[in-house]
Amino acid sequence: MKKKPITLKHFFFLPLLALVLLASCREEEQPVVVDDDDPPAEERNPNVAINEWTQDVMDEVYYWLENMRAPTSLTANPRDYFEALLYKPTDRFSAIYENAGALQDGLGGVNQEAGYEFQLYYWNSEERTVAAVVSYIKKGSPAQGKDLKRGDIILGINGTQITDQNYGELIREMRSQHTITYRRRNLETGSIEQMPDIEMEVTRVAENPNFMDTVYTVNDQKIGYVVYHFFAPSPNPTQQGAQPIYDDEMDQIFSRFKSEGISHLIIDFRYNGGGYVSSAVNLASLIGAGVTSSDVFSKTKYNSFIMSFPQFQNVQTNFRNKPENIGSQLSGNRVYVLASGRTASASELIINSLRPYMDVVIVGTKTYGKNVGSIVVEDEENEDNNWGLMPTISKSFNSRDESEYGTGFLPDIEINEADEHFRPFGDVNEALLRTAITAITGTSPAGRQQFEKLNRREIANTVEFKVRHGVMIDEYNPIKELK
């Protein structure tokens, strides 16, 4: 029961003459503690403490501090309160999540799912039918054990045809056990074949971002190729003492590239929407020509409040010394990056940070455009607050103080994978990979073979629904430094 002091007036009578009894009384104030059975409405609403915490965080670290909007009611839903503060439309990135634990899982690539990603296109524009074309299957997931491949065409979920009116609802149904109705294009004959329906289970999947790697020898030139889907050192990157198993795997990949003597490198970021800066530094340190721990990978600028403290006025992140680095082997001091509109944030950070040191050739379409970074904030004092914040707190620059990619990097060689039927990752005739190999060797792996050109328009992509999409998470947290 909460108690508070109130003031009452009390009269004390002195034992003097009866004739002056009333004249002898005096009035004085005395605090009295009483039980309050009916606290104010704001104190009864748990949103108040959550929103006050949100406001405190934003007042310290929000990058667009001077442009932060006026708050709404403290009793508002925490999501509405947070959204009301944001500097829209400039800030497309800050986010709040009802479950901080699920947020942390998602950033480490751990999700409750069947284990496949897809892109939505109009299948028949007149009927408004939508096709979900499979982008890739995740290793160790329920989908890997099914007869499902990249490029397969899903037209129905749980017996319902996908349309431009219901796809959002059907995607939500796919979060639990579901049945897909799909077709497959035969790459040899070009025919589209109806496949038996698949019942797809859902479980907790820990996706490994190191999707595949291989070495090609084309025209006597050795080309290393690695597909990397997001930046995370491990499935639990914030856990104390967690081993960076994904970063270690990437080191091993480049060790093999080095021992096999590759002279060209293709990094596939087409579905890489970002992630942890630490893993971006690790990868860039394996690629950059001649970079050492004395060379600047990136510079970070914060808001006016944070940068009023000396320790935040010249924040730099340096490359690492990596014995697996292959930069000196790369012909023309050049690396090729396969990109799309889903290539975002930490992927773009690598492109920008490598440019002062080498030639970065982008093959694909324009990237997403995000040069600002975030941190993950949890309330460590209120155990009843399970919300997690991911506010934008910084802007990144390379060693030449360049950061002009807020609207995305334009490709040096433009090609859209949606213009052709999808082929498996690693197939040298897959659209983006074939284009990069042709640029390297001067000869197309396909020879005179022609590929059908498609006229399809993308509606949505499940990669963009992941919490890790469009994020650049720095483990360096100014809030803890300021405490």
Residue numbers of the domain that contains 266: 207-449+471-482
Which structure tokens are listed for 63? 């990058």
Note whether 134 and 229 are same-domain residues.
no
**Structural domain count, the chain:** 4
Burial 69-102 (b: 16+ CB within 10 A, else e): eebeebebebeebbbbbbbeeebebbbbbeebeb
Q: What is the mean pLDDT of residues 341-347?
A: 97
- 3-state secondary structure (DSSP) of residue 264: strand
Note whether 276 and 218 are same-domain residues.
yes
What pLDDT digit, counting tens, does each position of 53-83 carry?
999 999 999 999 999 999 999 999 999 999 9
Q: What are phi and psi of 11, to 5 degrees?
A: -110, 130
Note whether 399 and 374 are same-domain residues.
yes
pLDDT in the model for residue 13:
29
Note whether 278 and 166 are same-domain residues.
no
Share of the chain above pLDDT 70, in %: 91
> What is the C-alpha separation between 247 and 253, in angstroms, rounded?
10
Q: What pTM value is reported for the model?
A: 0.89
> What is the C-alpha separation between 407 and 371, in angstroms, rounded?
9
Note whether 166 and 274 are same-domain residues.
no
> What is the C-alpha separation between 112 and 390, in angstroms, rounded?
21
Q: Is residue 465 part of a domain?
A: no
Q: Is residue 41 part of a domain?
A: no
Note whether 162 and 184 are same-domain residues.
yes
Do 434 and 421 contact (CB within 8 A), yes or no?
A: no
Note whether 437 and 342 are same-domain residues.
yes
Q: Is residue 15 part of a domain?
A: yes
pLDDT over threshold 60, residue 5: no
Q: What are phi and psi of 464, to 5 degrees?
A: -75, -15
> What is the C-alpha separation between 207 and 231, in angstroms, rounded?
11
Which structure tokens are listed for 355? 């440019």
Note whether 477 and 419 are same-domain residues.
yes
Note whether 226 and 192 are same-domain residues.
no
pLDDT in the model for residue 26:
40
Q: Which of 142, 174, 203 is the last residue of a domain?
A: 203
- Environment class of 278 (CB within 10 Å of its CB; exposed 0-12, middle 13-18, buried 19+): buried
- Report residue 39's pLDDT band, with 50, 70 and 90 as the boundaries: low
Cα dihedral 302, 228, 108, 56, rounded to 10, equals 10
Q: What is the mean pLDDT of residues 50-55?
A: 97
Query: Which long-range contacts (C-beta less than 8 Å, at least 24 apart) are formed by 236-241?
Result: 236/104, 236/108, 236/110, 237/107, 237/108, 237/276, 237/278, 237/475, 238/104, 238/376, 238/475
Note whether 102 and 120 are same-domain residues.
no
CATH number at residue 423: 3.90.226.10
Q: How high does pLDDT run on average in the chain?
A: 90
